[in-house]
Amino acid sequence: MLLNRAVLLASPAANTVFTTVLTRGPVARPEIARITGLSSAAVTKAAKPMIEAGYLEELTRAERTVEGAGRPAHPLAVCADREFFVGVKVTADELIGVVTDLRAQVRAAHRVPVTDRGVDQVVAGIAALVREVSAAYSGRTHHIGVSVSGDVDRAGGRVRYSPFLGWRDVPLAELVGRATGSTVTVENDVKALTVAEQWFGEGVGTDSFALATVGVGIGCGLVVNGRLVAGGYGVAGEIGHIPVAAGDGPACHCGGRGCVEAIASEEAIVTRARRAADDPHLDMAGAIDRAHGGDAAVRAVFAEAGQAIGLGLAAMVNLMGPERVVVSGEGLAAYDLFEEQIRAAFTAQAFGAAARCPLVVRPLPWEEWARGAAAVGIQSLFTA
């Protein structure tokens, strides 16, 4: 069954009804009307062609709910198998691919190592991974989402700068599209993960929230008034490059000094932990072990990282005012070593009532990041 975006783009009401059912369903028409502000007649009119096209279905009699005295309601639900989407998360060392259904439920997953970070080699690897992970869905996947760390121009399909891959100005959507024959959307990895959380995770039902990631880099995705914020230059939410140290703070790869990322990224922590432990071969796992073992100097490195993260989060919350902040990323393996400092710095620096903004810790494996890339592909259904 071919993708029929025209059904979903037929009107703003159709778009609104479908996204409401997608993110909150199964849900009855009166509830859709209440959530969206549309009239009951408008909801019914918008839903009819989507039911006929196989995007929505009315639940069976056994599954229906009852609203009011003796008035059965037939909730609408998304037909999850109507379309399938491939998501690929690109890291410096690995490609992680998933296939999801229309509700972003992972149906298949596969990983392959990155042995060469050259653009041609990575594109070839993505194409091979897509063939492998989607083999059981041949002919039923029509869109690929690819997420990459760094400065990504989603509209133009370009990776403007990815420090961990060493890329500048790469037309990745065009290259992957040519290699796979599919429509491709490229997005910053944190923003893609934020889309998945907005539609299918912690962000459901909120008008504004933020997702901050701690690990190789320090990233942040922002949703305001129900929309992912990209900003005029596509780099909104880069809390990793908020300066939190004085002018003599450590240099950052961005060219600035004293950035959160220059103090709290995995590379920054390892570099400082090696000096503290006088061990040039120490890696992140070893630093965590030393800190857990009571090495005061290494523990101080993690504490300083936590303070930097907390200050960065407070600056973002003071400016944007999200209802909640989700904290995730591979760096959560060390979260117990700097949680106290994150929360203390956040509480001290957040202005007034903003200090009540909850920090929700949510560990997410790499497959969830790939799912975020697939969610961007799902989101593409709603853009012309």
> What would the DSSP string read from start to end of 79-130?
-GGG-EEEEEEE-SSEEEEEEEETT--EEEEEEEE-S--SHHHHHHHHHHHH
Looking at 2-6, 59-63, 199-203, which range is the least confident one?
2-6
Please tell me whether residues 234 and 335 are part of one structural domain: yes
The total number of structural domains that make up the chain: 3
What pTM value is reported for the model? 0.85
Please tell me whether residues 229 and 341 are part of one structural domain: yes
Examine the pLDDT at 68 and tell me if it is beyond 60.
no
Please tell me whether residues 227 and 325 are part of one structural domain: yes
Summarised one tens digit per residue, pLDDT across range 149-173 is 989 999 999 999 998 899 999 999 9
Residue 174, domain CATH:
3.30.420.40
How high is the mean pLDDT of the chain? Answer: 89
Examine the pLDDT at 73 and tell me if it is beyond 80.
no
Summarised one tens digit per residue, pLDDT across range 311-333 is 999 999 999 999 999 999 887 88
Q: Identify the domain boundary among 51, 80, 109.
A: 80
Examine the pLDDT at 7 and tell me if it is beyond 70.
no
Q: Identify the domain boundary among 28, 51, 80.
A: 80
Please tell me whether residues 159 and 188 are part of one structural domain: yes
Neighbours of 161 (CB within 10 A): 17
Summarised one tens digit per residue, pLDDT across range 24-59 is 889 999 999 999 899 999 999 999 988 988 889 998
What separation in angstroms does the CA of 280 have from each of 261, 270, 276, 291?
A: 21, 9, 10, 16
Distance CA 58, CA 26 (A): 9
Structural domain range at position 175: 83-195+368-382
Residue 39, domain CATH:
1.10.10.10
**Structure token pair of residue 15:** 């778009």
Residue 1: the pLDDT is 43
Do residues 279 and 247 touch, judged by C-beta distance below 8 A?
A: no
